[in-house]
Structure 1
Amino acid sequence: MRTSPSVHPRPHPDAPVRLAPGPEFDLIRRFLAGQAQGEREDVRVGPGDDCAVVAGNGIALSSDMSVEGVHFRRDWLAPEEIGWRAAAAALSDLAAVAARPIGILVSLAAPAGDAGDFAAAVMAGCRAAVEEAGGALLGGDLTRSPGPLVVDVTVVGEAPRPVLRSGARPGQEVWVTGELGGAAACVEALLAERAPQPSARERFAHPVPRVREAQWLAAHGVPTAMVDLSDGLVGDAGHLAAASGVAVMLVPELIPVHPAARERSRVRSLRRALGGGEDYELCFTAPVGAVPPLVDGFARAFGVRLTCVGKLGGGDGVWFVDAEGRRRPTGVAAWQHFGRGDA
């Protein structure tokens, strides 16, 4: 009789990860110290083998790289915060499709001087972020780098019914979670060598990927399309518009600007909220009238507001729209790593 292949029994939850001797593996043991093994039904094989093995219905995968000098500076962030931000940015991609996190793989390229407490603290931040989101550290890679420090995070989740960017239709409403522009206000202050407001620094150093919020919205059958806000509302809504073949028409007066990003100049405040990026909130579309009955329940569940910021129309791109339905350009450009003229 032919039998189906089986995976080796899961290790005891308190069993240590077995690795060979050596400084590199000693550091990896520090990364994994205290992490229970074998206690999750969706992780068949965790850290310690050449591959992790996971189980799920519709495996969702994404990756996000954080590079020193591009995504973070050591004089702005503690090492734990560097790790948290790197993992949170990747986990936000799971939120964008309403996936349930299973875990993360972290590849860390660190200068030799960081191969100790600093690297361990970065990894502790990564672990804290994924565990807060309901996932586990699955493994990764460790290598020496001549500089800079690089934290590359791959996320693994389960999305049996993923919410994509391509389901929006003209006539539907556009909604966002939370408030926008706080992280941008923090970065502006740091670049000007000013102390940022504590609430703005929290948004930059400790962003919260909206993984549970996205699952809640999906469970209530709300989003027709969704995207996370990593590069600013204008840029990310532009991806949704392109994927769905619609125009996103934003009402400027409705944009929820983070208190730390507000100034007397409404134009400057809007620029932070629309183009600052790294808010890691959600932008989603829904049929007219579908969301308002859920706003209070969402706020009670998560302490986060839902705001309708516009609607969808025919055409393409992202626009401002007035009460008469007239469109005009936003005047805000999205963040891009490689602009025109870059090699």
Structure 2
Amino acid sequence: MFLRMRAEDPADRPPRHAEAGPVHLGPGPEFDLIRRFLAGSAADGARADVRVGPGDDCAVVAGNGIALSTDMSVEGVHFRRDWLAPREIGWRAAAAALSDLAAVAARPIGILVSLAAPAADTGDFAVQVMEGCREAAEHAGGILLGGDLTRSPGPMVIDVTVVGEAPRPVLRSGARHGDEVWVTGELGGSAACIEALLAGKAPAAEARERFARPIPRVREAQWLLGRGLLNAAVDLSDGLAGDACHIAAASGVAVLLVPELLPVHPAARRRARGQMLRLALGGGEDYELCFTAPVGAVEPHAAAFRRTFGIRLSCVGRLGGGDGVWFVDAEGRRTSPGISGWQHFGGDT
């Protein structure tokens, strides 16, 4: 009796997960630099959601509902070298993109980073920028999946694409009339830091920390989602006044904020009331989470949330009929806050 062997069908092969260890690339200074970028990366061979990691033409991931977003950081617009260390520049670039995953309550898988760097930076400076990107990804529960490297005549540009899994994505359109409006953490710290730096002053240490190493609220969003507390959400990259407008427009509701309930960062609370509100509502780059939930749903979980994450949850208003973002007083009278979020084309107010 003879055994007849048939040719192996590639479709029969089990998926080969990414192997931990050094990335094998060809020779050349560009690839030498990439090897330095990837040195010390978290071993991804044990991750079932990463089938192919860095080193091939594409990363390959697996998940139930792949969430994708991208965020670009441009020198002179999003960061300045005299304000931030290279690792902080990379961390902020990655954190801004990872915050988009928090907004839909996605679980991070990893990031792809495209770096355009002047020739003078293609050494330790670029390596430290990439280390900051990788550290932010790993802090959020993801890994560096790969990216691209190119020479730039200047300025430096960092483009970060995030990849996550969102089997039940939370959308801006899920808010309902009567929902409470909540925010995580405190608002205005990053803006207070920028204000001080622009004035040539040393910012308060806690404000600089909020600016230099913002924490995307990905774990917090997962926690809230697991308890059924998210009807709609948005991350606060451009300021509460501007970003809440997106929930209002997508859900066909008005966001009614109570100014006295805003959780203002201590560095912003030191300002006069008008300036304090401008920093908290329009300063941007807090990367906190704004979400809506049914009346009474969140309060029973607020203490446990604070114990788990070390930050508070604050109810700052509710949703009503109409559109836009308004201040509301105890009698229900609405007034315009007179503050909008940051806009790249048109400036901020």
- Alignment pair present for 1:200 and 2:193: no
Q: Deviations over 1:23-44 (max 9, x none)?
A: 0000000000122242211000
Q: 1:31 aligns with which of 37, 40, 43?
A: 37
- Partners of 1:118 and 1:264 in 2: how far apart? 36
Is 1:187 the counterpart of 2:207? The answer is no
Residue of structure 2 equivalent to 1:263: 270
How many residue pairs get matched?
339
Q: What is aligned with 2:52?
A: 45
Equivalent residue for 2:280, pick from 268, 273, 293: 273
Matched, 1:152 2:159: yes
Distance of 1:236 and 1:82 partners within structure 2: 23
CA distance in 2, matches of 1:34, 1:249: 47
Q: How does 1:253-332 map to 2 (within 5 A)?
A: 253-332=260-339
* Secondary structure at the counterpart of residue 166 of structure 1: helix
Cα 1:194/1:312, change in 2 over 3 Å: same
Q: Distance in 1 between matches of 2:56 and 2:14?
A: 13
Alignment partners' CA distance in 2, 1:252 and 1:12: 52
* C-alpha distance in 2 between matches for 1:186 and 1:147: 26
Which residues in structure 2 correspond to 1:17-166 (within 5 Å)? 17-35=23-41, 36-166=43-173
Q: Please give the TM-score of this superposition, normalised by the length of structure 1.
A: 0.97
Q: Give the distance between the partners of 2:139 and 2:249, measured in 1 at CA.
A: 33
Contact 2:117 2:157 in 1 (8 A): yes
CA distance in 1, matches of 2:85, 2:58: 30
Distance change >3 Å, CA 289–CA 8, structure 1 → 2? closer
SS at match of 1:236: helix
Matched, 1:223 2:223: no
Runs of 4 or more consecutive aligned structure 1 residues displaced over 3 Å after TM superposition: 1-8
CA distance, structure 2, for counterparts of residue 45 and residue 9 of structure 1: 7
Alpha-carbon distance in structure 2 between the residues aligned to 1:159 and 1:11 = 22
Determine the C-alpha separation between the residues in 1 that align with 2:243 and 2:190: 16
Aligned counterparts of 1:116 and 1:202: Cα–Cα separation in 2: 26
Percent identity over the alignment is 77
Is 1:335 equivalent to 2:342 in the alignment?
Answer: yes
Whole-angstrom CA distance in 2 between matches of 1:196 and 1:335 = 21
RMSD of aligned Cα (Å): 1.3
Which letter maps to 1:26?
A: D
What is the CA–CA distance in structure 2 between the aligned matches of 1:37 and 1:216, rounded to whole Å?
A: 24
Contact between 2:17 and 2:48, CA under 8 Å: does it hold in 1? Answer: no
**1:7, 1:144 → 2: CA distance?**
38
Q: TM-score, normalised by structure 2?
A: 0.95
Structure whose alpha-carbon radius of gyration is higher: 2
Secondary structure of the corresponding residue to residue 174 of structure 2: coil
Gaps of 5+ in 1: none
